[in-house]
Amino acid sequence: MQYVDLNIVRYAAGILAAADELGETIYCEVQPCEGRAEYLIPDATRPGGGGQDIEQRPAMVCREHAEEMLGNAPEEQPIFRRLEGPGEE
């Protein structure tokens, strides 16, 4: 089972809605990448504050960096999908 806190969804939706309203693009948060963000990482815990602190928050990243973080290519994530079971022959 996978789950995401709805506050994270609201956070990301607000950012995306504001960008859409202004006609702006959301870019990958990994520096110095300039790729278009395609994935939301709900818990992107990483060093922050010049390496002295730990930052915990959601992050939006490009496909390349999502793949780097996962160690393999991101899988397709359909919103709704029905897999048919074995039918009678």
Evaluate whether residue 27 is within a structural domain: yes
Q: What is the pTM of this model?
A: 0.75
Please state the domain count of the chain. 1
- The CA distance from 43 to 49, in Å, is 17
In tens, the pLDDT along 30-49 reads 989 999 999 999 888 877 77
Q: Please indicate, yes or no, if residue 89 is contained in any of the structural domains.
A: no
Instruction: Report, as an integer, the average pLDDT of 57-80.
Output: 90
Q: Is residue 88 part of a domain?
A: no
Nearest one of 14, 26, 21 to 61, comparing CA atoms: 26
In a domain, 1, yes or no: no
Convert 41-58 to b/e letters by CB count within 10 Å (16 or more is b): beebeeeeeeeeeeeeeb
Lowest-pLDDT range of 34-38, 51-55, 63-67, 72-76: 51-55
Q: Is 82 contained in some domain?
A: no
Question: Nearest Cα to 60, choosing from 23, 1, 2, 19?
Answer: 19
Range of the domain at 22: 6-70
The answer to the question of residue 78 being in a domain is no
